[in-house]
Chains A and B, each alone.
Chain A
C-alpha cells in the first residue's frame, strides 16, 4: 500500500460571518494516490472549491481551517501537514507552484496582464529552481526561455517561440488554458489541482484540453485532483470520484462504481437528472425535489434529508451519518447502509 500523495483527513473549514457560522467544509476525508486522477464533484455550496483552497492554504478570511489534517507527501521525507503551515511561510511557498500546482477556472484572471505569459513561466521556473533541479549551475535566461518554449510545444501551443512573448489577453481561451497548464506543469509537481479548468471554454476546445491533460498525466505520472460540476467530464477524466454535498462527502469510490452502482440517494438522483444527448428529445428529466439550502440554513442531521426520497423518519433529521464502506473501495455516508454516526470533534 503506497503512501498517498495527498491524504485529507476530516477537514473542517468554517466561515465566521456576521450573519452566522457557515460550515463550508465539515468533515471531508479522501486520499489521492500517486499518479491517480481523483474527481471531486458537487453543486454550488458543496465545498469543493473551499477544499481546494484549504489544500493550497488560500482560504480567505472570515474563513478558517478549524480542524482536520491535509497530509502531503513531498518528494522526500515524511508527509507534512499543510494545515499546520502558516500561509505565508517559506515552506509553504516552496510547496506551492513546485510540488502542488493549480490550474484555475479563469485563466484570464490567473495571468498578469502586464507580463507576457513566457515571463511568468520563467519566473516560476527560476523561483523553484532548487526544487526541480537540486544541483548544478543556476538557470540562465536563455535556458529558461528555451525550456518554456519546449513546455509550450508539449502542451500543443503552435508557434511556441512567438507565443512565449504574447500577453494573456492576446491569446484565445483554449490557448490561454494551455499556457496555464504549461505553467502549472513547469516545475514537475507531484500534485495538480484543476479547479473547473474547462468550464469557461467551448466544448470542442474542452475535448482537446481534456485529451491533453490525460496525455500529460500519463506521461509525467502527476496526480490530479479534478474539481468540477460536470459529471460527463468526471466520467472521462477521473479514476476515483468524491461526491460532495453541503460540505460533506456523501459518497466516494471508483468511477465505475459511482456511475454504475451509485449508493447514496443524492448521487443516484444527480445522475438521473443530467440531460443527455442519448435520450429521446423532449423528455421530462427526473429531478431532485426542493433546492440546495442556503449555507446559513443548514438542516439538522444529514444535510440531504429534506430532499431525500429515502429519508428514514426520526433518524436522518436528527443525526449525521458517518462515511462507511458500502463496497470494496466505495464509501457512502447514509443511514440506509450503516447506522454509524458522525462524531463531532
Chain B
C-alpha cells in the first residue's frame, strides 16, 4: 500500500434482511443486501461508491456509520487516538465516543434538518450533544461553519423552511463538519438537487476536502458526479463489489462488463454522440433471488458457461484494480475518455 495510512478498512461486510411470510411471520429466506464487500479508504481520499437501485451501496454506507448492525464482517476504523477499532460489534454505548469522528451527509435536503429548530440549533446539535455547553462558543463555531460552507452566519436564526434545497444541503454539510470528523459518509448528497446547484455543492465538497483534509465516502448512482469527486471508484451490483480502481483507470479502462455498460448507458449531453447503441438487456437482478453463478450473467454480452455456474471471486487484476469477473483477463472493454 502507499505511504498514507488507511482510515477505514471494510472486510467481508455482509448484511442480510430476513424475508418473513405467513401469519406467524416465519423467516423463509433472506435478502443479502450487502454480500461480502471489502475495501479500504485512505486518509484524505474520496472513495466513490456507485451502483443502481438494489446494489447495496446505501446499506453499506449505513453499516459503516453503524446506523444499522451488519450481519457479519469487520469495519476497522483508525480513531483519532491512533487505535484501530472494529465498529461492527460495538454497542450503542461503546459507539458514542466515536460518533463525533464519523458523520453523515444525507440525500434529502428537506428531511435531513429538523424543521422545528433553527439552523443554529440544527448545526449546533452535534456540538451540544458532545459537551460544548457554552452558548457563546457554539454561536462562534456555528458561524464559522456556515461561512465555511458558503452561507451567511447571520441567517443562523432562521428556520429550514426559509432555505432552498441547495442551501439546506450546505447546512447539512456544515452540521456534518461540526465535530471535525475524520470520515464523512455522503449518501447521494446531490441527487435531489438541480443541475446548477449540484455543481456548486460538488465544488464545495472538493474544496472542503482539500482544505480540511477530509476523508470522504461518496455514495451515488450518477457516474458523472462520481467522476468529479472521487479519487477511487467502487462499483456495486446486487450487493457485491464488482470493480474497484482509481477514477481515471476505471473510466478509461473498465474491466467489468457491468461497469462498461453503466458508462455507455449514461446519456451524453452532445447530440452528435452516438446513441441507441447496444443498451443492456433485462432488468437489474432481484437481490432477494439473485441468479446462479455470476449475478450479472443474464445481462452480460460476454457470458460463457462458467459464468452461469460459478460465482467469480474478486481479485486484483492489476495493482490497485480489483475485478469480480471470470473473463476479466481476456476482455477488452471500452471506457470513456479523460
Mark each residue of chain A from 43 to 82: 1 if its CB lies under 8 Å from any CB of chain B, else 0. 1100000000000000000000000000000000000000
Instruction: Tally inter-chain residue pairs, CB-CB below 8 A.
Output: 160
Contact present for B221 and A278 (CB under 8 Å): no
How far is it, in angstroms, between the C-alpha of A43 and the C-alpha of B164 when the chains are bound? Answer: 13
Mark each residue of chain B from 310 to 322: 1 if its CB lies under 8 Å from any CB of chain A, else 0. 0000000000000
Interface residue from A202, A260, A281, A282 paired with B284 (Cβ < 8 Å): A202
Contact present for A277 and B263 (CB under 8 Å): yes
Chain A positions 211-255 with a Cβ under 8 Å from a chain B Cβ:
211, 214, 229-236, 255
Chain A residues with CB under 8 Å of B336's CB are: 277-278
Chain B positions 241-265 with a Cβ under 8 Å from a chain A Cβ:
247-248, 251, 261-265
For residue A294, CB closer than 8 A to chain B, the reply is: yes
Instruction: Quote the shortest CB–CB distance from A201 to chain B (angstroms).
Output: 8
Instruction: Quote the shortest CB–CB distance from B70 to chain A (angstroms).
Output: 25
How far is it, in angstroms, between the C-alpha of A230 and the C-alpha of B53 when the chains are bound? Answer: 19
Chain A positions 158-210 with a Cβ under 8 Å from a chain B Cβ:
172-175, 202-208, 210
Contact present for B283 and A279 (CB under 8 Å): no
Contact present for A172 and B283 (CB under 8 Å): yes
Interface residue from A204, A205, A256, A285 paired with B202 (Cβ < 8 Å): A285
Mark each residue of chain B from 200 to 228: 1 if its CB lies under 8 Å from any CB of chain A, else 0. 10110011000000000000011111011
Residue of A nearest to B279 (CB): A207
For residue A259, CB closer than 8 A to chain B, the reply is: yes
How far is it, in angstroms, between the C-alpha of A281 and the C-alpha of B165 when the chains are bound? Answer: 25
Instruction: Quote the shortest CB–CB distance from B101 to chain A (angstroms).
Output: 24
Contact present for B267 and A210 (CB under 8 Å): yes
Residue of B nearest to A205 (CB): B283
Chain B residues with CB under 8 Å of A202's CB are: 52-53, 221, 284
Instruction: Quote the shortest CB–CB distance from A23 to chain B (angstroms).
Output: 18
Instruction: Quote the shortest CB–CB distance from B205 to chain A (angstroms).
Output: 11
A residues neighboring B (CB under 8 Å): 43-44, 172-175, 202-208, 210-211, 214, 229-236, 255-256, 259-260, 269-271, 273-288, 291-292, 294
Q: A278-B337, A279-B338 are in contact. List 17 more A-B contacts (CB 8 A).
A: A43-B196, A203-B221, A204-B261, A204-B262, A207-B264, A208-B279, A208-B280, A236-B271, A256-B272, A269-B196, A273-B198, A276-B227, A284-B206, A287-B203, A291-B164, A291-B167, A292-B196
B residues neighboring A (CB under 8 Å): 46, 52-53, 164-167, 194-200, 202-203, 206-207, 221-225, 227-231, 247-248, 251, 261-273, 275-276, 279-281, 283-284, 336-338
Supply 19 A–B pairs (Cβ within 8 Å), ascending by A. A204-B284, A208-B279, A210-B275, A229-B194, A235-B271, A256-B271, A274-B199, A276-B268, A277-B223, A277-B227, A277-B268, A279-B338, A281-B230, A281-B251, A281-B338, A282-B206, A282-B230, A291-B200, A292-B196
